[in-house]
Amino acid sequence: MELASYLAGERWSDHPSCTHPLLAALARLVNDNTSDESRSKLVRLVPSIIGLTSDDLRVDAQIALRCATTALPVAAAERQLALAVSVLAAEEMLARLDGAPSGRMSERSRRAMEEVPHAAEQARRFSRAARITEKGFRRYAAPNAVQLSVVGIVQACIDDPDALLRRLLEDAIADCAALVRAPDPATTAGTTLPAHA
């Protein structure tokens, strides 16, 4: 993140304004929990995070969801309930922001929850009794989901946690880019794409 601040022409900082705060937090966590040998592979991702910032809560929810669904299937049993709750909270926030019915779930989330049926059922019971505010989600739930996910991957009994952490960061960057750089429907209404597009 310090390199990103430098390349963006900002003051040297690991909290640059050119990158969404939650994505920057994920990048720092991945960097700090990756082995020295694998850390050099993260450098090539730096240019792709510059300019990825938005106040849209969907970005926070998508980052939290990507993290939780990536970690949930590999995390130790004691972390699964918190990660499953994170999946449900992020899905609920996205549904609320989209004006969709409560309980909507993406295929990725459905598959992750199916991997841990006991934790998924406990999470559903817990989530029925709790309702999180948008402010609470941004300030607490989303950052906790990111933190829990990285720790869950680092401590998982898998062959190459570094590779999974790197893939998580790459996928989160792609998710953010799709949301941040998506055309505004209000400005593109009534326009048509060229036939070759």
List the Cα angle 112/120/145 in 5-degree steps. 65
- pLDDT of res. 63: 98
pTM of the model: 0.84
Q: Assign residue 20 a region (left: φ > 0; alpha: ψ between -120 and 50; beta: otherwise).
A: beta
- pLDDT of res. 18: 65
Are 42 and 169 a contacting pair, CB within 8 Å? yes
C-alpha span between 159 and 156 (Å, rounded): 9
Instruction: Give per-residue burial for 116-140: e unless 16+ CB within 10 Å, then b.
Output: beebbeebeeebeeeebeeeebbee
- Type of residue at 30: V
Q: List the chain pLDDT tens, one digit each, 197 residues.
A: 454 443 445 444 555 556 789 999 999 999 999 998 898 888 888 878 877 889 999 999 999 999 999 999 999 999 999 999 999 999 999 999 999 998 999 999 999 999 999 999 999 999 887 888 999 999 999 999 999 999 999 999 999 999 999 999 999 999 999 999 866 555 444 433 333 33
